[in-house]
Structure formats: structure tokens, C-alpha cells
Amino acid sequence: MSPVINILFSHCRSNIYLIVGVCVGLSISLLFAPIEINDCQDLEESLPYSISSNELIDEYEPKINIEAKPQKAKRVPKVFVRPRYYSTELGIRDKLFIGVLTSPEYLHSRAIALNKTVSHLVDKVRYFISIPEGTKPNVSLPGIVGFTDTRSILQPFHVLKYITDNYLEDYDYYFLVKDTSYINARKLTEIVNQISVSQDVHLGIGSGDDAYCSLDGGIILSNSVIKKLKNNLDWCVKTTFSSSDDVNIGRCILHSASLPCTHKAQEQIYFSTKLNVTFDYQNDFKKLCADEDFQKSITIYPIYDHLMIYNINTHFAEMELLKVEKEIDSLRKQIVKTTSFTPKNQQDLSWPIGNQPGSNAMNRFDILRWTYFNMTHVFLDDDFGTVKELNDYQKEDVNNVVNVTVKRVVDNYNKQLKFNKLLNGYWKFDSSRGVDYILDLSFATDSGVEVNKRIEVCKPLGKVEILPVPYVTENSRINMIIAVDAFKKEECMKFLAHYADTCMDRKDKVTLTVVLLYNPGYASKGNEDIFHEIKKRALFLTEKYKKDQLKVTWLSIRLPTISSFIEIEPLLKIAIADLYVKKFSSDNLILFADTRMELKSEYLNRVSFFTVEKYRRLQKVHDLSYDNLLFSNFNSFAMKYLQVRMNTISQWQVFSPIPFVQYNPDIIYYDASVKHVDFDIIHNHGRYDDYNYDSVSFYTKDYMTVRKSIENQVPLVRTDKDIASMLQLSQTISIGSIFEMFVVFSNLNTFRAVEPALKLKYKEINCIGTRNNITLNTCLKQRNLQLGNRGQLTRLILDYKDHQ
């Protein structure tokens, strides 16, 4: 053994206990130490310093734990759906809802009277009745709500339930009243506009018990009180015991809102007048008007005669008118007083003071011209006439203006002048201002001296209103009809070809019916049929587009005489409509067309908005200031596009477009070597023929309603044999067209509009085909105007004289 090993063993023997202790300790530590799976150890995590950088690691720096992330939410949040209107999201509400408690037997009297005097001044009115199930009210009044529970004691709670279910978030205040009260709607609106919605309001006139308001006198409830009532209606119904509606509804409000009835809220006092049982309108009303509280009253009760409601409303309307006139005078004085401080001094004043000044013409085409008139006739009213008699509405307008002006002049001269006559008169209609008149009046003094005065009169436009129109869609199928006689066969064949390209190829929802008018003795079957080619073409198109459910049909009608003798007879068109319309259901849209038209899809899909005839007579533009119509500046609104299907509304409106008719090509192309087939909408090519009413659209139900209403005057045509008896009435019945029949005999709105897409080619008009003098005169005017414009006709006359 080597010396080194001997020395090592000698040292180990002396330290054997130390060595054994160290080995045992290491063995025990290895047994209890955790076992690391990874062979490599990340030294960077164990060191206080970064290996790659000398920067010190902050042990307090937050660390992102991305293990098992992202985690699914235990509760999925609801998707926020925005309301349709911003007012709903912002909580913007209308101001006032009125609920009238009435009964079916008084709907036609007191309810209608309240509707006519209140509904146009407030946001919403509803009439609540108790009516047995299966029965209907005896009047068609808008806003009727019926409850099948006929127990009168529960009617107020049914009303509250209806309000909370339908109008809880729509109004700030709710006014409940019985139909035996007159409602001063202007005063009611004024008082609710002065009260803040931030507080609970239970306002009215106390009944027998001062804690309860009287329903006869009316109750004003704020939106917050109605919300409190919603949760307590069951308690109110269960604890109802009194036969008095005032007590029942008062206990309910007091229990729900702890708010007794009061006649004063936020310094606003609720006035109401209770009439004596012996009150007589003729004898006691003047005395009642002297009472200041009566003039401030919101309700007046009890009123059992509905005519008294109209009389009282007339009084308050007169008081309101006087109040408005005083305010206008005060404003005019302030305008005159303050105008001197403006840089232009008095030049900014318009007349009448405070009214809209007249529009300034941008060029010579926008200049509004003055029209000369006297008491009986109007001169140079348009470009196509020199003089014509004033119609009934124009006469009424002129007489009214002259009478008011004469009265004003006579009063200013202390009745020392006596009116003789109107020397000259001029009117001008400005759509932004109204109608201006210049009147030259002749007066005479007591001594017989003639005095002439020139007076300027202005009739300004009133409040602008938008006409409500029912919502309609654009998907209605149009049933087009054209009438063809023996002289229009070629036109019809061209029309069918054009119709196939324009409508059938594009799969438009249009069905065409060709009405074949047979003269007496003409064959109607086989190859000898005069319309054989038209029928053959119709069958071909129907078969070709069978898959698209598009077809062309025909209706054969045997005339009692030659078609040229009755071609323009209006009653013939009504007879054709009678025979055609009965083949369709009530919801079908009918459109009468012309074979001369250049059929375009734009005509079926849009029209240019020009004017609306709201009432049952055709009036001049300046006469419409008496009606509640919307007047707009022609330059900004005349080219609004509306869809044809939307202009014909079932049970509401019929439509007749004004076509653009071509002038005589021999005249308009007099100097041209080539005559153009196409023509544009320009002054030299044609004109909008306002005498043409052949194109008209309506719904079947509306037509049959009108026809049945005049069946005693104009019998319905059920077969071809009835046409002869119909035509015999043409001399006694002056109905110029189907459109005029709607205007005169129906309550539907009638709509006329110029249609640039409806162009009719020139055709010589045969005016011998009528027995009616009015129709004959209209036809002659239409034929003369269709020749050419004034310049073309003048040139033709001068050239003719030069060649002589």
C-alpha cells in the first residue's frame, strides 16, 4: 500500500465520527428534498440580477397571469338595443293626454262636440265607453276605446288601467273628465305648460269631500302619480264601495300617492265653473261672461246639450282672437319703435309690419306677375287665355276683399264716403307670403264729388299644416287598362310591343287588359275578327311570360253606335269602368292608360309633386288660402318624387297625372327637313295638358262605393246593352271624366300632378263624338291648344300671308 493511502486512512480513523455524521445528514436531506422534473434550471429567475441586463428587477412589479385566460362569464350581459326614436331613449314626452268618460248613446252628440273643439289643440284625446261585447258604436269617431265590462262603477279604473298599459311613458300630464263638461283646451294647455313635471300633481276642483277631485270638473294628474297608481289598481278595485266616481278614484289616488286634491299647484290656480240647474244660455250667458273666474275657467259643467258646447267655444275663441290681435298690435308697435336703431333705418320695415316680406326674384323667370280682374272677370290669367269669368270661389274671394276694404275706408272717413264701384283690381299670389291685392275704388261724397282711392291689401297665409296621409307600400299590383277601337289597332300593336319590353321583361307587377270596342255589325270571332291580330299577340305574350305569372287579357264590348261618334263621351269611359272593375276584388289598383303614351317604368314608379286638391272642388291657387293646406315654394318643392303606387291610397285618395302632350309635328317641324319621332319636354315640343283626365288610378272598392252612391242618377252598366241607355244621359248629366266623378260625388282626396314620364304623341282630336255641350267646349279648347305654341302659330300665319 502506498504511503499516501496510509496517511489518508490514518486521518480518517481519527475523524470517523465526523465523516459518518456528514454522510447520514446528506442522505436524509436527499430523502426529504423535492424532485425537479426539468434537468435545466432557469438561472435568470433565481438570480436577483438579470443575466442579459444590469438593471435591478423590482420584486413588487405586478405580473400578468395569463394561465386559463380568458375565462367565460358566469352571466352573459344583455345586448343593448337602442329605441327606434331618440325621444324614447332621452325620455322626451308629449305634454297632455285627455281622457273623456262617456257612453255610447252620447258619442254622436257630446263626444263629437268635444272632439271638434279640443282635439286640434292637445296631443291626444281618447273617448272611453262601456259597451257589451259584439256590439259597435253608433258613430265613426277616432279615438274610441270600449270596455266590455259594463259596470259603470269600475269605468274610471278601466281608464287608468288602459292609460298605464298604453301611454305611461308618453305624456307628462293626464286630464280625466266626463262628457258633460266643456273643456277650454287653450287654458288647460297653458296651465300644464306652467307646471313643472318634477313634482306630483293632483289638481282639480273638490267635490263634496275636499280631499277628492270632481270628475265633472276635470282632474289633472302628473306622470309620476299615474306610475304610483299602476301598482295599486288592484287595491282600488277591491275596496270600491261608493256609487260616486269622485270618491272611488279620489280614494285610489290618496292611497297610492298620499296626495289629496288641490286647486293650486306651483302658483297655478285651477278654475272651474259649475252652472246652476236653472241655467239658460240665451238669458244667463251674458251675465256669466262678466264673471272673471268664468273667463279663467278650464272646465264648465254640467252641460247636457251639445249645442251649448259649440256656443261656449265660440265665445272663448273670440276672446282668444282679441287677445292675439292685441299681441300683434303690440309687436308691430315695438317693431316700428326699434327699427330706427337699425343701420338701414326705416328700410327694413315690411308691410304689413311683422309679416313675411315678398320673395325677391332671382331672374326674369321667377318674377311673380299681377293678374288684372274686375267684379266679374279675370284677364290674362295664364298664357293661353285672354279673359274668362270668375268662378264661384274667385267671386267669393273678390267680394270678401272688396267689402272688407270698403268698410275700412268708410270708417276711416267717418262714413262720409259712399262706395260706387271697383275700377281696377290686381292680385298676386306669393307662396312664401300670401295674396296681395291692389284695388282702385271709386267713392262719392255727400255732395256728389267722386273720390278715387288706391288701396293695397294683403291676405297673408295662416298656419302651415302638413296633411296626414296613411302609410302605404310600393308592392301593389297595377291593373292597367287601355281602350282600343277599329282606328287604334296599329297604335295598340306598338303599345303591346313596348309594354312587353318595358314591363314584362323586367317582371314588373303590372297586368294589362285591352278593352276591344266593337262597332255594330263587326265580327268578333275567328279570322274575320277585326281585332284578331291583337288577340293573337296577347295570347303570345301571356304564354311567353307564363312562368312569371304575367299576362295580357282582353275585354270585348259591343257599342250601340260607331265608336267615332262617342269617342270622347265621358259616360262611355264610366261604362267601360263598370264592366271592367266588377271582375276584380276590392283591393285591386286600377290604372287607365292611353295607347299614345310612351310607356316608361318611371311613370309607374314616380311622379313629380306639384299640387294637392284637398277638397271636392278644383280651385285656383290663390283660393286655397281659405283651406288648411300646405303651401310651399315651387322652386324648392316642385320636383319631389313620389311613387305612383303611393299616390293612390285605398279609401283615401285617387290620382290623375297630367300628361305632356306633343304639338302637331307638321307645325313644330315646319322648317325642318326631317320630322323627329321622339320629342322632349320643352316649350316648343308640347305642353302639359291640364284638360286631359284620361289617365286616372283608383282602387276598386273606392270606385264601387262612388258608383253605388250615384246609381240613382247614373245607373250601373252590367252588360253591353246598358251602354245605350247610359249614353242618353250625357245631355243631362255633366260628368267630364272618372276623375271628376270622384271630385264631385266622393269624400276622397283627389290628387293631380304633372308627370314628365307620361308623354303622349300627337293625335288629331275628334270633337264630334259627344252630345254634351260642356264636353264639346272643353274638347275644342284642348284641340286648339294642342296645335302649337303662340310663336309657332304666329310664324305659320305670317308665312302664309307672305306666300299669298
725-743 tens-digit pLDDT: 888 888 788 788 999 999 9
pLDDT of residue 8: 64
What CATH class has 371-460?
A: alpha beta
Better-predicted residue by pLDDT, 618 or 341 = 341
Query: In the structure grid, which three cell numbers stand for residue 279, read together?
Result: 241655467
Does pLDDT of 51 surpass 60?
A: no
Q: What is the DSSP letter of 683?
A: T
What are the residues whose beta carbons fall under 8 Å from the beta carbon of 760, sequence distance 6 or more? 594, 596, 597, 598, 659, 660, 661, 662, 689, 692
DSSP 555: E
How is residue 82 written as a grid cell?
A: 337602442
User: What CATH class is the domain 88-315?
Assistant: alpha beta
Does residue 90 sit in helix, strand or coil? helix
- Could you tell me where the beta strands, DSSP code E, fall in 278-369? 299-301
Q: Answer yes or no: are the C-beta atoms of 128 and 102 closer than 8 Å.
A: yes
**Fold of the CATH domain 478-626+638-651+693-757:** Spore Coat Polysaccharide Biosynthesis Protein SpsA; Chain A (3.90.550)
Give the mean pLDDT of 291-306. Answer: 92
486 DSSP assignment: G
Predicted TM-score (pTM) of this structure: 0.60
620-679 per-position pLDDT tens digit: 333 333 232 222 222 222 223 334 677 888 888 899 999 999 999 888 887 766 666 678
| 88-315 and 478-626+638-651+693-757 share one fold | yes
The confidence band for 461, taking pLDDT boundaries of 50, 70 and 90, is confident
Contact 692, 568 (CB under 8 A): no
> Residue 217 and residue 736: Cα distance in Å, rounded?
54
pLDDT at residue number 4:
62
The phi-psi region of residue 736 (left if phi > 0; otherwise alpha if psi is between -120 and 50; otherwise beta) is alpha
Classify the phi-psi angles of 434: left when phi > 0, otherwise alpha if psi is within -120 to 50, otherwise beta.
left
SS3 at position 232:
coil
pLDDT band at 173 (very low <50, low <70, confident <90, very high): very high
Radius of gyration of the chain measured on its C-alpha atoms: 43
H-run or E-run covering 372: strand 371-373
Could you tell me how far CA 669 lies from the centroid of its own chain? 45
Least confident of 344-353, 449-458, 660-669, 735-744: 344-353
Mean pLDDT score of the chain, rounded to an integer?
83
Return the exposure string of 318-333: e unless at least 16 CB atoms fall within 10 Å of the residue's CB, then b: eeeeeeeeeeeeeeee
Q: Give residue 310's identity as a one-letter amino acid code.
A: Y
| pLDDT score of 185 more than 90 | yes
Cβ neighbours for 22, distance < 8 A, ≥ 6 positions apart: none
Query: What pLDDT does 207 receive?
Result: 77
> How many other C-beta atoms are found inside a 10 Å radius of the C-beta of residue 491?
17
Tens of pLDDT, residue by residue over 544-581, are 998 888 889 999 999 988 887 788 888 899 999 999 99
pLDDT digits (tens, 9 = 90+) for 204-241: 998 766 678 999 999 999 999 999 999 899 999 988 88
Contact 76, 134 (CB under 8 A): no
Q: Where do runs of H (alpha helix) occur along 38-179?
A: 43-46, 86-90, 112-118, 155-166
Domain boundaries, the chain: 88-315, 371-460, 478-626+638-651+693-757
Task: Find the angle CA(483)-CA(694)-CA(713) to the nearest 5 degrees.
Answer: 90
Rounded mean pLDDT, 24-36: 73
The Cα–Cα gap between 717 and 723 comes to: 6
* Residue keyed to cell 295674396: 435
Burial class (CB within 10 angstroms; exposed 0-12, middle 13-18, buried 19+) of 550 = buried
- How far is the C-alpha of 29 from the C-alpha of 34, rounded, in Å? 10
The rounded distance, in Å, linking the Cα atoms of 298 and 188 is 6
- How far apart are the C-alpha atoms of 175 and 166, rounded to whole Å? 15
How far apart, in whole angstroms, are the C-alpha atoms of residue 144 and residue 128? Answer: 6
Residue 401, C-alpha cell as written in the block? 276683399
Element containing residue 589 per DSSP (H, E): strand 589-592
What average pLDDT does range 95-103 have in this prediction?
Answer: 93
